[in-house]
Structure 1
């Protein structure tokens, strides 16, 4: 009986630690998203365009890790913040490094989208500094970006909150029913 109680306590503590880490991660994502990669070592992004196909498809989830300029090379994939000339809005983009140059004591990074081996890559119109780079490409998961985009939408947020409420209610109801069932089983054994 003591072993069972110990196992339950260990499970409870483990669950609380995992929930605490997830809540901390979500808090970072909501309030200081630029620090997420530095603190946790990774951060996921949904890919919104076809600019990296067929290597990374629209709707894939790209996971980036800490960017180290000293280790960066032409051809590496990076994720960065830039203002899109077409819309004038700041967006998160994932492209290849086209060039890394020193200009007036500052490092300038140019990027390019995916090109076939037969094509000549052309640099994007934007010029980046190191502080605009969010992270270096680590890996990607096909189609999972669609799910993250849904969860970030108002409808997705509402769906998640409702589902958490329903699951919590089910767990509470199940736990309330357990002592009664155990008492019935014990009463049956005594007879």
Structure 2
């Protein structure tokens, strides 16, 4: 499951990520925000943990969230961390090492990530500008209408001056 690492904040040892793919469905729905607890240098994930980690995917850096299944010693002596998607029947093809692991999954908020990503887009700024413009026009028109209505109401509430009856 690829996640969006753009401007990810590390707050008190936790980081939020947006889930972009369906590889962890139904456990974590696409578009969810996951909170990940950063692993310290001397910490290791436990088998079965859901972990978030960096991956070199076709020459491009990506961040994934998958199950951690164990380790395997490579021919060169390096330790490969084995990961897999929720409904996969085999381990992921890419090679991950301890330094690639960001942290372990804590919880997720379904579908909120879609809105978070939208708010970071230029379209959101344009939409926000349009909404603000409409609100300003509404306020201007409403205040004008309100003044006219109050004036009409005040005129209606003023007592009529008594008419003088003059007899000659």
Instruction: Bin the TM-score by the shorter chain.
Output: 0.5 to 0.7
Q: How many residues end up aligned between the 2 structures?
A: 126
1:57 aligned onto 2:29: yes
Q: 1:129/1:57 Cα in 2 relative to 1: closer, same or farther (>3 Å)? A: same
Q: 1:89/1:156 Cα in 2 relative to 1: closer, same or farther (>3 Å)? A: farther
> Deviation of residue 73 (structure 1)?
1.4
Which residue is equivalent to 1:99?
70
Looking at structure 2, the residues matched to 76 and 96 of structure 1 have their Cα atoms a distance apart, in angstroms, of 6
Larger helix fraction of residues: 1
Tell me the TM-score normalised to structure 1 length.
Answer: 0.56
Unaligned runs of 5+ in 1: 1-28, 170-191
Q: 1:70/1:106 Cα in 2 relative to 1: closer, same or farther (>3 Å)? A: farther
> Deviation of residue 155 (structure 1)?
2.1
Larger strand fraction of residues: 2
Secondary structure in 2 matching 1:145: helix
Looking at structure 2, the residues matched to 156 and 107 of structure 1 have their Cα atoms a distance apart, in angstroms, of 44
Which residue is equivalent to 1:172?
none
> Deviation of residue 106 (structure 1)?
4.4
Secondary structure in 2 matching 1:46: strand
Q: 1:71/1:148 Cα in 2 relative to 1: closer, same or farther (>3 Å)? A: same
How is 1:1-191 mapped onto 2 (pairs within 5 angstroms)?
Answer: 30=7, 33=8, 36-37=9-10, 40-68=12-40, 70-85=43-58, 88-102=59-73, 106-115=78-87, 121-156=89-124, 162=129
> Deviation of residue 102 (structure 1)?
4.8
Deviations 1:57-94 (A, max 9, x none): 11111110112463411211011111224xx4221111
Q: Highest CA radius of gyration, 1 or 2?
A: 2
After TM superposition, which residue ranges in structure 1, 4 or more long, deviate above 4 angstroms?
A: 102-106, 157-160
Unaligned runs of 5+ in 2: 1-5, 137-168
